[in-house]
């Protein structure tokens, strides 16, 4: 065999080996890079989990209005899909998806357990309403009658004159309602906190109307000289009492609830609003004289005449203020004495 022929044979042999190697290499690559048929489903479910998890975090309701039901339905659908995949291919990817879905489902359950603002409001009112009382102010007023008398009196010269003029003559006295306010029980034995101007008339009598409809005569025990606050007392024990909270942590825009005897006619009326201002200084009418109120809270919760002395509550049902004044003719501009000042008074009076 010639050298030239040997060279040709070696060339083709080398080429054949190279082609076989390339085929083997491509075969190996193709086998290693072939996609798992479950991969698209895993990726799709993973994306769905991302969406559901973000919906829980952001409290967005995807596209439907009833987001809680929507998210729950999607989670249930994904649980079914993952369960089917797990039966055919219990891979680590599927187990990871199941773990993530369980976490999302737990977040959803926790979110559903969180109370809404309406729930918090109604719970706060239910907690404090039994301790809120209406205060009726009564006073002995002259009872008058009309009599017709001789305008010339006892002058004998005019005794036969047939002219008579009407005059008012007192026939006695009668007890009459002259005002109303609000208060709230701060001890179980009948101590009630209210405004000083509600019980400022020394000659008046005060009757407390409890939330159960019963009535009790009240005695004024204390009227503070610095703040528009007072303490009155009724007989009895075992009364529901309000919890006085801390007003130092109150923030602008915080939701508050006012309870009181609106207009002196509608006991335990409830209104809601926000804290509109802090540390206000205003002038208020106290029995015909102007007094300055310092450091008070401003709120847009509806506070009407008769609400004075009632509690201003936070969403936990704690008293954060005592309603004291409103700007008549305004669009819900009212004021409350902060509860931290109330705490100073109660320590001063009760000694605790």
Residue 249 CB-half CA count within 13 A: 5
Return d(Cα 313, Cα 307) in angstroms, integer: 13
Q: Cα separation of 318 and 324, whole Å?
A: 17
CA atoms within 13 A on the CB side of 303: 32
Q: Which residues are tagged catalytic?
A: 197, 228, 308
CA angle 128, 195, 208 (to 5 degrees): 60
Cα 104 to Cα 91: distance, rounded to the nearest angstrom: 20
* Helix (H), strand (E) at residue 156: none
Calpha distance 55→144 (Å, rounded): 74
State both tokens at 24. Answer: 């083997």
d(CA 193, CA 342): 9
Rounded to the nearest 5 degrees, what angle is found at the Cα of 203, between the Cα atoms of 197 and 204? 65
Burial class (CB in 10 A: 0-12, 13-18, 19+), 194: buried
Report the distance separating Cα 105 and Cα 118, nearest Å.
Answer: 25
Distances (CA, A) of 3 to 12, 16, 63, 347: 15, 20, 81, 120
**Cα(332)–Cα(327) distance, rounded to whole angstroms?**
8
Between CA 207 and CA 138 the distance in angstroms is 8
Rounded CA gap, 277 and 319, in Å?
17
């Amino acid at each position: 065999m010639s050298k030239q022929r040997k060279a040709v044979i070696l060339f083709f042999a080398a080429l054949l080996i190279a082609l076989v190697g390339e085929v083997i290499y491509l075969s190996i690559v193709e086998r290693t890079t072939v996609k798992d048929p479950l991969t698209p489903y895993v990726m799709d479910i993973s994306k769905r989990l991302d969406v559901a998890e973000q919906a829980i975090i952001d409290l967005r309701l995807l596209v439907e209005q009833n987001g809680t039901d929507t998210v729950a339905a999607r989670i249930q659908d994904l649980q079914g899909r993952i369960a089917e995949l797990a039966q055919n291919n219990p891979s680590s990817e599927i187990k990871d998806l199941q773990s993530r879905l369980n976490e999302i489902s737990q977040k959803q359950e926790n979110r559903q357990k969180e109370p809404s603002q309406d729930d918090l409001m109604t719970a706060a009112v239910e907690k404090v309403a039994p301790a809120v009382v209406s205060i009726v102010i009564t006073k002995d007023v002259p009872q008058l009658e009309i009599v017709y008398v001789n305008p010339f009196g006892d002058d004998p010269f005019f005794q036969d004159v047939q002219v008579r003029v009407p005059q008012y003559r007192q026939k006695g006295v009668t007890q009459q309602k002259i005002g109303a306010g609000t208060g709230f029980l701060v001890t179980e034995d009948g101590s009630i906190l209210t405004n000083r101007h509600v019980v400022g008339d020394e000659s008046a009598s005060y009757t407390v109307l409890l939330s159960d409809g019963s009535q009790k005569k009240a005695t004024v025990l204390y009227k503070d000289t610095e703040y528009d606050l007072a303490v009155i007392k009724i007989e009895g024990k075992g009364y529901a009492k309000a919890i006085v909270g801390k007003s130092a942590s109150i923030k602008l825009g915080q939701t508050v609830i006012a309870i009181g005897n609106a207009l002196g006619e509608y006991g335990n009326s409830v209104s809601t609003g926000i804290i509109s201002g802090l540390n206000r200084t205003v002038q208020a009418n106290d029995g015909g004289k102007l007094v300055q109120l310092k450091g008070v809270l401003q709120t847009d919760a509806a506070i009407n005449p008769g609400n004075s002395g009632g509690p201003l509550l936070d969403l936990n049902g704690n008293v954060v203020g005592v309603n004291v004044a409103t700007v008549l003719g305004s669009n819900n501009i009212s004021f409350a004495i902060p509860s931290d000042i109330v705490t100073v008074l109660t320590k001063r009076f009760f000694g605790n």
